[in-house]
């Protein structure tokens, strides 16, 4: 099969590359820089908090590094904040976006 530009092409395996989109403001470079700075901060924090600490809670006792314990507590706090925020938005006190009940005459029931 001939195409107008007289080049033979396979209909199934010819792929034209999409034009590259330019990042005019350097947003991707800024994001990459912020991610790298955060990663470096996490690594330095972890290296400076490697000593083992002992945790006792009720009947359990275990040891782990101080950095790991702080990340674990942070993760639990973020999870609890997310769950409580979701509960406050969608819990029994909210109408969750449903319209109020109406009776046959159109008054609130």
Over 70: is that where the pLDDT of 76 sits? yes
On the CB side of 19, CA atoms within 13 Å amount to 3
Two tokens, residue 25: 């403001």
Two tokens, residue 20: 């590259």
Domain for residue 61, yes or no? yes
Counting the structural domains of the chain, the total is: 1
pLDDT in tens, 30-72: 888 888 898 888 888 888 888 998 988 898 898 988 888 888 8
Domain for residue 16, yes or no? no
Rounded average pLDDT over 71-95: 80
Q: State the pLDDT at residue 16.
A: 65
* Inter-residue contact 60 to 68 (CB < 8 Å): no
Among the ranges given (16-20, 61-65, 77-81), the one the predictor scored with the smallest mean pLDDT: 16-20
Rounded average pLDDT over 5-10: 53
Domain for residue 72, yes or no? yes
Domain for residue 79, yes or no? yes
Cβ-proximal residues to 61 (8 Å cutoff; 6+ apart), any chain: 54, 55
């Amino acid at each position: 099969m001939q195409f107008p530009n007289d080049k033979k092409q396979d209909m199934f395996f010819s792929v034209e590359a999409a034009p590259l989109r330019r990042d005019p403001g350097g947003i991707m470079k800024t994001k990459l820089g912020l991610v790298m700075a955060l990663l470096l901060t996490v690594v330095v924090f972890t290296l400076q908090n490697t000593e083992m600490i002992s945790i006792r809670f009720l009947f359990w006792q275990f040891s782990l590094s101080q950095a790991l314990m702080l990340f674990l507590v942070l993760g639990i706090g973020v999870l609890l904040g997310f769950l409580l925020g979701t509960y406050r938005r969608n819990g029994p006190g909210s109408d969750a976006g449903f319209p109020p009940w109406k009776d046959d005459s159109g008054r609130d029931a």
